[in-house]
Amino acid sequence: MTPWVLLHHETPDGSWHYDWMMQSGGNPGGELVTFRTRQRPDDPSCTHFFAERLADHRAVYLQFEGEISGDRGRVRRLAQGTCEIVHDAGEFVVELDGVGRWVGRRGGHDGTTYQFQRAQEWR
């Protein structure tokens, strides 16, 4: 199991989104697989959402809150926990401990947009 975090990111232009980050490969201190979304994957009532795959982020964001350098806004941690990640070509599967399993399928022309669906069955 590896750590995950959900950050509320407010940008300088007044907009916001969530940054959903998970440590990949069970590598402590390793980079974080990162998605930008408008829905909370930890919300029990959420059954599906779209997310944009961003470049991996530094592990410091697992604990970071506050102003982001370079005038990129500020983040506030909303949730965290542990997860198990499985990803294949075109699909990203993550089980959030205590929340459930999400299956993300790649779509769109740029290959960075994923549609996540809550899985009905648990391991």
Provide the residue ranges of all domains of the chain, joining segments of one domain with +.
2-118
β-strands 32-37, 48-57: how paired? antiparallel
**3-class secondary-structure state, position 61:** helix
The pLDDT tens digits along the chain (123 residues) read: 899 999 999 999 999 999 999 998 766 778 999 999 999 999 999 999 999 999 999 999 999 999 999 999 999 999 999 999 988 777 899 999 989 999 999 987 777 899 999 997 544
- Which of 108, 104, 107 lies closest to 117, judged by CA? 104
Alpha carbon distance 75, 44 (integer Å): 23
Burial class (CB in 10 A: 0-12, 13-18, 19+), 6: buried
